Structure 1
Amino acid sequence: MRLPLLLLLSFLSLGASAAEDLNGIWKGTLTQGPGGCYPSYFLELQITVTGDRISGKAYDYYDKAHFVKMSFTGRYNAQTHRMVLIEDRVLEADIPGECQPCVKTYDLNYARNGALEELTGDWKGVYSDRHLICPPGKIKLQKAASSDFPVDVEQNDTLAGIQASLRLQPREKEVVKTVTVKSSQIKIELYDNAEIDHDTVTVFINNKILLYRQMLTDKPLTINFNAFPNLPYELVMYADNLGDIPPNTALMMITAGDQKFEVFLSSTETKSATVKFIYRP
């Protein structure tokens, strides 16, 4: 049977992307033409890939104390090895008063030479407050094992708003298990551990709320997230109450590729059950 050309290209694209793990930290330099604040900056991209969608954070900086943090989204074409990223929001800026954040579009090409992985290409953009064109420039990045800045876990705007106004009582963290996974795609499912007794929990990963005041039942509370290589992740289950039968207990099912783990969690009004993760390709 002959496949339509578009469908065949889709299969080829998926096959090519399987060999290219773009998730992770990319670091290097960004140059800017005459008229920019500096002719050269350092640049770090924290890239998360979900299907054919890319999201993440960008830090361009002259030194680590003076930086602009942006969020971005984009797409990657596995056939052409081309990536287009579009910054959409200034999240944080600590730069000299005479400089202005530039909201950028990246046009990058992926290449691999042995263990070395690179993203190279061009960028252009507009100043965030004046909507004038920034002097464009070039980008050269390599995949890196560590970050120069905090790595965010993706959180939706609703949960971010809740967390900004929330004041929880600090509690001791009790590490129940440390899990090493071989896949960047991690699924966590939480069930009530025994009799359903109205336990509710708030769940953090790396201090970001991903579940807020959710009841544990025989149906899973599910969290999916992408882990970057060799970076630590910490899940904390904070007991909102102790249910009808103290303490607050849960069964956690972890799926990462073909790996599966079961972890039993128990949180109280003084301690929060904690599980640590690390992804080692």
Structure 2
Amino acid sequence: MRWLSLCIMLLLNIQASFSQNIEGKWLGKITQQPGGYSQLYDLEFDLSQRKNIWGESYAFEGDSIRIRIGLSGYIDKDSIRLNESLGWIREDKVPFTWIPCVKQFYLAYRKEGDFEYLEGRWTGFSKDDSRSPCYPGKVILSRSVEGLNKFLEDHRDSVVITEPLVTASVAAPVLDFTSDFLNTEPKKVTEIIVHQPELQIQLVDYMKVDNDTVSVYLNRNLLAKNIRISKRPALLNFRLDTRIEFHEVLLFAENLGLVPPNTSELILVDGENRHRVMIVSDKEKTAAVYLRYKPKKKS
């Protein structure tokens, strides 16, 4: 009899999970791991639900990025599966060098007091090449602005899933770039004077794509891990510690590709200025680019 009661309770729980209604508008945030175009976007869902789920997603960042894609999906026990469709791209406004991702969402519903949330992760692939995966990330959505603001306040230290680049302290940290790095010798490629603290690195393959993979370090702290170099630029946005004048960017070869050594082209975006640098790393030497921060004097 106890066994029968347990089975009935389990069946009721499964049915309850399937009966969850998520129809309507949701608003929130979507993050992307280092190596993607940006660390954080705004995200909205507009969903309809009967037996299955359909609607559209809308990811945006200011006025420069607006991506609206139709999606469909279903509820599987306590998981919500939603897939954008390549054929349902309704709005595609991104910078010239960017390519939107067609995303798959793996979400769970939960309720805290009066607030309802959809929370989980996403994966995806390039709109132009389904064989090219996007850097994944996390998703948080709420039915209300108040619920979203509460979540962001409660989780303000973990919403963006990237390594912190600057550790706040009163005194500027003392950096040492003279020692070896991960059993390799840092080899200076060039020194660049930069005027903006917010910078972007674009990494693309040099000549032939041969599966080169690198990790990028700023001042010996991990900036992005295992970036596969391809013809599609991998974009890294970061901020310099303005208390320090001299910074080091290391491109560590995780492999040597099909044709050694590990080669790539680095484009450093400093405001309106762009600096192109050819990068060569191997298992003995790690390419080092040094940045000298000199803010422009106010006129």
TM-score by structure 1 length? Answer: 0.45
The structure with the larger Rg is: 2
TM-score by structure 2 length? Answer: 0.42
